[in-house]
Amino acid sequence: MRLYEIVYIFDATLDEDPVNKKLEKFHPLAIAKDGEVVSVDHWGTRQLAYPVDKQKMGYYVVAQIRAGSEGLPEFERVLKLDTELMRYLIVVNEGEPSSGNSIMGEARPQSSEREDDDEPDEPPVEEESSEEEGEDAPRRFGPPEFSGGRGRRRRMEGPVIELLNYKDVSTLSQFMTDQGKILPKRTTKVTARFQRQLGRAIKRARYLALIPYVRDHEA
């Protein structure tokens, strides 16, 4: 049994009652006999980051279920046949956003930058594998550091990031350019492992229309 997280985007014309009826039909297919529905969180009707099926609004639901893999093929087959389900995503649950922010929370203020005039410019320190900490020691990924003009370092403000989550829109936005592109590793100075997790989280958020593929700017 594994804990899965499922994000549904239903047609915005639906409200909570008809959506719950659909979920009551969907979830038994996935959990089979020994599984269970752990939680169902209705985000409600929200504006999409970009049009999906020519729709600008969608009804979001995030559900967590404990299930085996044998029921998932039939579960997905039924989801694909539902004409009022605009999009869905099934992932193995990875935990909640480390910052406590998600699309449902208030957006964290935009990251500010400060120049450390008193600190000499040092080469970026990659993720260390200390023998004292051991292989199972939790790894902490701090906010990215990137080089500024004249050899100075600019540091993004914010709490230490221990887990990247595709629902944590405010944190993911800090690793993207004004045009919506993912900042490269040579700019953020993060580890290769963190960069891979970042790319995966941003791609999932884009697919779910939580963040746009390209940001439009008015001249």
169 phi and psi, to 5 degrees?
-65, -40
Residue 59's pLDDT is: 98
7, 208 Cβ separation under 8 angstroms: yes
Quickly name the fold that domain 2-92 has. Answer: Alpha-Beta Plaits (3.30.70)
Query: Tell me, what's the pLDDT at 73?
Result: 93
> Please, what sign has the CA dihedral across residues 143, 148, 151, 157?
negative
Its pTM surpasses 0.75:
no
Residues of the chain with pLDDT under 50: 98-159, 217-219
Residue 115: per-residue pLDDT: 38
* Structure tokens, 197: 């997790």
pLDDT digits (tens, 9 = 90+) for 112-125: 443 344 444 444 44
- Looking only at the bridges linking them, the beta strands covering 85-92 and 145-147 are unpaired
Tokens of 5: 């997280």
Q: Of 167, 181, 170, 154, nearest to 109 (Cα)?
A: 170
Q: What is the CATH number that goes with domain 113-207? A: 4.10.640.10
| CA-atom Rg of the chain in angstroms | 20
Q: Tell me, what's the pLDDT at 13?
A: 96
pLDDT score, position 47: 96
The amino acid occupying position 85 is: L
Please give the pLDDT value at position 154: 46
Whole-number pLDDT of residue 216: 65
User: Taking the domains of the chain in order of start, what are their residue ranges?
Assistant: 2-92, 113-207
